[in-house]
Chains A and B, each alone.
Chain A
Amino acid sequence: MNRRKFLGAACACGTLYSPGSLFAGSLQARMSPGFRPEAASDENGLWDQFNKEEQQLKRSKFLIRDPELNAYIHGIACKVAGDYCRDLRVYLVRSPYFNATMSPNGMMQVWSGCLLRCQSEAQLAAIIGHEAGHYLRRHGIDRFHDAQQKSALSTVLGLGLSVAGGARYAGLTDALIIAASFSFTRDQEREADTMGLDLCAGAGYDPEEAANIWAHLIAERKARENQGFRDLVFATHPVEEEREATLRGLAKGMPGCGVAERRGRDRYLHMLRRERASFFADELKLRDYGPSIALFEHMLGNDKDDFEVAFNLGEVYRLRARDGDDAKALEQFDRLASTPKAPAEVWRSIGFVRRARGEQGEAAQAFGRYLELKPQADDAAIIQSYMNPGRST
């Protein structure tokens, strides 16, 4: 893990994901628009570190650079953050997990796994609003100051880091390392939740969408086959149900709660259209079958005619290949194949499933259809070889 990754992990430590009841009433920002730390302050030093980080992030191959999508999401951030719009910079990062991060200097990262899971503009606005809440309440510098007071822990942690390759972090102060190693506190998360809901409702979004995201994440967690597995989202925050209930309860008293017109679902999916295929591909590569099935079924529940989702649901079953999965995969693929808009890859996948079932004739027919639709396919020669029974591969 290099310095940049380390700082990245620092921000990622549960910015969005701690549980807790929300503060009652509105909170005020602890800074004015255009805020910059005083030149000689430790906060300025902290900003400098993250400014360097941001310069590296701008060059990263993991940045999603689609100009239309970036402009759209910047627009959401501006709606939510209002006068603070120019103080926040949202970066879209290709990483298949559900996460978003906020750095003290205004650098916000939203991961592609988060973009895939959001089902509406209002859901993404809820995440951006929450992260903006961390920034406006200056939680980063609070965390830094708190870390400075933990000098005893610094020694222990420093020892641990040196074993894990801590020499790479020689440029960082102990306090920064500690600050980067801890998630926001529960109180900070509550504040960010409160501000996020206020900001989103004020921007005209359905505030209940924040709770709806949690409801889905809980469903994904329950679908996980290895219940011992705890990812970034759930590692340190075990009571998602409580958080969902709290968010929903608070949203009920806000304007626009539950109003479908305030969600912006169609607009959101339209803006995501060019990138979504790569998000699906990344999701499939995780081979975390249960949550992927839960996600895709949830998405199909919102729109049963979303063929891209249906295809990927079929793909999860095809890749998992347990007893009965062949039929579930074919259920999706056959439904798609009967429509004129079916992509050629549907036929290729039907071929794989049929072949695994020993239905060589049907498999060859499906592969043939794939090659007919896509004669110049990159894999044409190998697919042709599957049509010739007797080969081992």
Chain B
Amino acid sequence: MKRALAAMALSAFTLGACTAISEIRSGERVVINGTLAVQPSKSWSQVSTFALYGAHVVVWTMDGPELDKLCFVAALENNASIHADRPGKTPEPKFRSNMTATEVMELFEAAYSRPTSTPVIFRTSGLRPAKFAGVDGFRFEFTFVDQADEIERKGIAVGAIHKGKLYLAFYHGARIHYFGKNLPEVEAIIGSAKLM
């Protein structure tokens, strides 16, 4: 896997040095955006892209971002968007503090199904109440296919609005093999989440 990541890093370098990868060590307590603490029991790679588009999303991966991603949005404020606006493009949908879980799910779905270059078929399901980081929140499942590679991906999202700010952890992976492979570790990380 390290070789794959090294290749990926090299590839990223040749494409304009726009991506950096750092290690998240197993057992390390990680604080996202100063507000959301999680503790992985395995080692992950954090993928930092120097692009505004994903500005509010922290991305980890186990087997490479094409295969799986564990993402965190921590303390997103009222009227902020999950993805930053892109010049010349339609403005990103905004989070509002008074949103219901349904509306947050709709926001998430819009944020991830708006085509950046190719269309995406995105479906959400199973929205239900759930605890997240010790507070009342919600959970749902999703699937999506991007026309760029047509790989079927599955995902889960868990989140809550606390003191007017949005906290969200979501994970997705290739439906074949990768989603299920890392899911127990992901559930454990989500279970470890604490608000700071």
Using a CB–CB cutoff of 8 Å, the interface residues on chain A facing chain B are: 1-2, 5, 60-62, 94-97, 163-165, 224-226, 228-230, 282, 284-288, 319, 321, 348, 352, 355-356, 378-379, 381-383, 385-386, 391-393
The yes or no answer to B43 lying at the interface (CB within 8 A) is no
Query: Which 8 A/B pairs are nearest by Cβ-Cβ distance?
Result: A95-B119, A393-B101, A287-B93, A288-B90, A228-B88, A285-B113, A381-B128, A379-B127
Given A381-B129, A382-B128; A393-B114 close (CB under 8 Å): no
In the assembled complex, 27 residue pairs joining A and B whose CB atoms fall closer than 8 Å, in A order, are A1-B118, A2-B149, A5-B117, A5-B118, A60-B147, A60-B150, A61-B121, A61-B145, A61-B150, A62-B121, A94-B119, A95-B115, A95-B147, A97-B115, A225-B90, A226-B90, A226-B91, A229-B90, A287-B90, A319-B110, A356-B98, A382-B129, A382-B138, A392-B136, A393-B104, A393-B137, A393-B161
What is the size, in residues, of chain B's interface with A at 8 Å between Cβ atoms? 46
Complex Cα distance, B90 from A224, in Å, reads 8
Decide if A392 touches B161 in the complex (CB within 8 Å): yes
Within 8 A of A (CB), among B1-43: 15-16
Interface 1/0 per residue, B129-145 and A, CB below 8 Å: 10000011110000001
Complex Cα distance, B150 from A97, in Å, reads 18
- Residue of A60, A224, A319, A379 contacting most chain B CB atoms (<10 Å): A379
Given A226-B91, A319-B106; A5-B148 close (CB under 8 Å): yes
Among candidates A95, A228, A386, A393, residue contacting B136 with C-beta atoms closer than 8 Å: A393
Residue of B nearest to A357 (CB): B98
Decide if A287 touches B103 in the complex (CB within 8 Å): no
Decide if B114 touches A285 in the complex (CB within 8 Å): yes
Question: Which residues on B sit within 8 Å (CB–CB) of A1?
Answer: 117-118, 148
Decide if A379 touches B102 in the complex (CB within 8 Å): yes
Complex Cα distance, B161 from A282, in Å, reads 26
The yes or no answer to B122 lying at the interface (CB within 8 A) is yes
Complex Cα distance, B19 from A295, in Å, reads 39
Decide if A393 touches B90 in the complex (CB within 8 Å): no
Decide if A62 touches B119 in the complex (CB within 8 Å): yes
Question: Which residues on A sit within 8 Å (CB–CB) of B87?
Answer: 228
Complex Cα distance, B114 from A382, in Å, reads 25
Question: Which residues on A sit within 8 Å (CB–CB) of B149?
Answer: 2
